[in-house]
Chains A and B, each alone.
Chain A
Amino acid sequence: MRKFILNGLLFLSLFLVCNTIVYLFAQDVYHESYNKVPYKSFDSFIFADSYGMALRDYGEEYNVYNFAMASDSYFDIKRKLSYLIRNDYQINTVYIGVDNHSLSTNREHMNNLDRSVYYSSSKDFSNPLTYFKERYLVYYVAIFRPSVRALFRSYLFQNAKSLLKRGSKVKENSFDWSSLAESQRKKEAEAIIEIQFLSQNRSEELKKVLEEIIALSKEHQFELIGVKFPVSESYLKAMNNANYGADEVFVAHGIPVLNFKRKYLERDELFADSNHLNDKGAEQIIKIILNK
């Protein structure tokens, strides 16, 4: 037994060392950009996925904090909003992305639940065991997390690749959407639509969480406004009116929706790709969203 325990401890030590390396990597590359806590001076917030993330910090001069993050789902948004409420933030207005794809079943898997757990409390989980497991075990035993593993793996392989190329730098991606040929823009837009609108039915689970967010706004008396972010003409054509109805949920509850889907159909120079604004586009739209 002694030999087995000693070998077990040796294995555990090696495991802890490897996990520490991966955890520190994850903190640096994966969590640091996500785990941000706004100052309490902010009283308005933007929540969305990458559509809202494109707005960067352009709203801060109007005291609006951009909490949007790529791949954020309504599960993540609810955790962040609950965090603000729990920590006594003065919330006047909350802008939430209610785009056509927002209730896609895709978001049940492609989300930031392993990161937004940072903002959660035990009340966000069905039982204390699950909270402990997600908030501490899964979070700190980073070596097992699929998202961290994928990042770590591509980081290592990419570095190995550049070493093998004898120091040649990996080219940066300086991409200009408006400079692409129309056929290429159409192809890229269709590729995105295929991923976002894979299933015929919307996610009832996400719809339920969206309604819980609406309930929070009524309980804590802050204004909720839905936002449909601008997309390019290629994307709109490829989407062909597909809509999982996040905006309809808002309308059904009497909540206003600002629809900017068609705002920049002839302004491809304002886009970084088929469905995300670039800095120029972001600077313009934020003033319109905030009515400035």
Chain B
Amino acid sequence: MFFNSIDFAIFLPIVFILYWFVFKKNLRLQNLLIVLASYVFYAWWDWRFLSLIIFSTVVDYFVGRKLRVEQKQANRKLLLWTSIVVNLGFLGFFKYYNFFLENFIASFTFFGGEIQANSLNIILPVGISFYTFQTLSYTIDVYRGKLEPTRDFIAFSAFVSFFPQLVAGPIERATNLLPQFYKNRKFDYHQAADGMRQILWGLFKKIVIADNCAIYANEIFNNSGEYSASTLVLGALFFAFQIYGDFSGYSDIAIGTSRLFGFDLMRNFNYPYFSRDIAEFWRRWHISLSTWFRDYLYIPLGGSRGGTWMQIRNIFIIFLVSGFWHGANWTFIVWGGLNALFFLPLLLTKRNRTNLGEVAQGKFFPSIREVISIGITFGLTLIAWIFFRAESVGHAVSYLKGIFSPSIFTSPELFDPRGMKITFVLLAIFLLIEWIGREGQFAIENISVAKSKAVRWSLYSSILLVLYFFGAFDETVEFIYFQF
């Protein structure tokens, strides 16, 4: 069920009431409720894939238990590899089988061979890229001795399937989330109220910003051959805000929902479009995934230690794998490769950790230098987003060629002048709110400091009114990251 659906609007209060009023005094039953609610939530998409998540849960639970008692290093490695093979095996088959098959056939044909093979009509289970990585973090941390394996199967199942973050993250670490299932949760008004605020802001980002931008991004990308260069730039801009509003909006709703139940999830976005360089962008965008790759792939490969070529190799591996994680298409791999290219100079010149603090901290206006840095960084990510969004590498290349043409100096074609102007205004207001609230976990977090209830509720009502009158409810736009 979508977060912005009537189904979820009914599901959430029911689970909330059962959680805090019926099962409040029994931790085990509370966790069991989370498991059942999460399975209902997942089955709402497609009940057939429940078996996969349950199987993955059982395998990793028993791998963890075995790792606790197994002393022989060879056997421990074997157990770890069992978990990796099962999880990545599912992911590989459902997500990448057809991609590998088609490319294998294409290479055979390229070399003059002929091969008969049929691609399968495989449905991608929702959230598989997320929960497989989440359970892998458990087995790897247990193997490394960073985490005590759990004996509580219910708590572990709840950790794997926790519904707010099950289908599109944040990809939680076992070291952060699992211990929260062992502790008695006490209802905290401020945590819950903050959670509601974060849900509201997440819905605003998704329904007002992302879904409105999606209408124009889709039109321009789907008909890119017909539009001028300046319009193509507009299309890329719309997509940049579509994907940001969509994904960070979902994360806000997930984190806010978790807080209603007394859980704290990790932050997933930290105002990435205010980044001053690409390294900072990757510390602020999809934080749960980039830190996962850093801890479980980059550092084991040697990280930034070793010679220059090793550093270059590791950076490319990380970004290419990250691109590939997003989908079985060369466009995502090229997207990853481009980001590696942008990142590499900073790493090699040891400037990848220069912008660690908040941009324009304590001030309202950024410096000229910061504005230029933000502009350049945003421009680079925009070029990469074109590959992310395009149907194929060829489409992305022709899109870029279209941008770098004389019609860049013409006015963009506003094929829906009224709608587009409203969207521009909404984007401007959105960016202003995000800028003002950039030191908070989410942009409107600090509304809570307004002492007057009337002021706070007026602000919430204003957001709700904008959501109602300007949100793109008519177009059923799925959360982008559900397809990953």
By a beta-carbon cutoff of 8 Å, the part of chain A in contact with chain B is: 1, 3-4, 7, 133, 137-138, 141, 143-144, 146, 149-150, 153
Contacts and interface: CB of A to CB of B under 8 A. Distances in A.
Interface in B182-210: 187, 189, 192-193
Contacts of A4: 187, 189, 192-193
Nearest to B10: A137
A1 B6 contact: no
Contact of B6 (A7, A133, A150, A153): A133
Contacts of B6: 133, 137-138, 141, 144
B415 interface: no
B409 interface: no
Contacts of B292: none
Contacts of B468: 143, 149
> Nearest 5 CB-CB pairs, A to B?
A146-B474, A146-B473, A1-B187, A4-B192, A4-B189
B452 to A, nearest CB: 14
B94 interface: no
Nearest to A137: B6
B469 interface: yes
Contact of A3 (B10, B189, B469, B473): B189
Contacts of A141: 6
A138 B9 CA distance: 12
Contacts of A1: 20, 187, 189
B413 interface: no
A150 B474 contact: yes
A146 B10 CA distance: 18
9 contacts: A1-B20, A3-B189, A7-B193, A133-B7, A137-B6, A141-B6, A143-B468, A146-B473, A150-B474
Contacts of A7: 193
A150 B468 CA distance: 10
A153 B189 contact: no
Given A1-B20, A144-B6, A149 B189 contact: no
Interface string B2-26: 0000110010000000001000000
Contacts of A138: 6
Contacts of A133: 6-7
Contacts of A3: 189
B448 to A, nearest CB: 13
A133 B474 CA distance: 19
Interface of B: 6-7, 10, 20, 187, 189, 192-193, 468-469, 473-474
Question: Looking at chain B's contact residues, is the secondary structure mostly helix, strand, loop, or mixed?
Answer: helix
Contacts of A143: 468
A253 to B, nearest CB: 31
Given A7-B193, A133-B6, A153-B469, 9 more contacts: A1-B20, A3-B189, A4-B187, A133-B7, A137-B10, A138-B6, A144-B6, A146-B474, A150-B474
Contact of A149 (B10, B20, B473): B473
Nearest to A144: B6
A3 B469 CA distance: 29
A42 B192 CA distance: 58
A149 B475 CA distance: 13
Contacts of A149: 468, 473
Contacts of B193: 4, 7
A241 to B, nearest CB: 26
Nearest to B473: A146
Contacts of B192: 4
A3 B192 CA distance: 11
The residue in B10, B193, B473 that gathers the most chain A C-beta atoms within 10 A of its C-beta is: B473
Nearest to B461: A14
Contacts of B469: 153
A284 B243 CA distance: 55
The residue in A1, A3, A143, A149 that gathers the most chain B C-beta atoms within 10 A of its C-beta is: A1
B257 to A, nearest CB: 14
A143 B468 CA distance: 9
A90 to B, nearest CB: 39
Nearest to A14: B461
A1 B6 CA distance: 25
A7 B192 CA distance: 11
Nearest to A109: B476
A143 B6 CA distance: 11
Contacts of A144: 6, 473
A144 B469 CA distance: 11
B393 to A, nearest CB: 26
A225 B449 CA distance: 68
A1 B473 CA distance: 32
A172 B468 CA distance: 29
A144 B192 CA distance: 24
Contacts of A137: 6, 10
A153 B192 CA distance: 32
A137 B8 CA distance: 13
A4 B188 CA distance: 9
Contacts of B10: 137
The residue in A4, A137, A153 that gathers the most chain B C-beta atoms within 10 A of its C-beta is: A4
Contacts of B474: 146, 150
A164 B160 CA distance: 56
Contacts of A150: 474
B474 to A, nearest CB: 5
A93 to B, nearest CB: 37
A143 B7 CA distance: 15
Nearest to B4: A144
Contacts of A146: 473-474
A137 B468 CA distance: 18
B146 to A, nearest CB: 36
A143 B10 CA distance: 15
Contacts of B20: 1
Nearest to A143: B468
A122 B214 CA distance: 36
Contacts of B473: 144, 146, 149
B127 to A, nearest CB: 23
A3 B474 CA distance: 35
B419 to A, nearest CB: 13
Contacts of B7: 133
A129 to B, nearest CB: 10
Nearest to B470: A153
Contacts of B187: 1, 4
A228 to B, nearest CB: 31
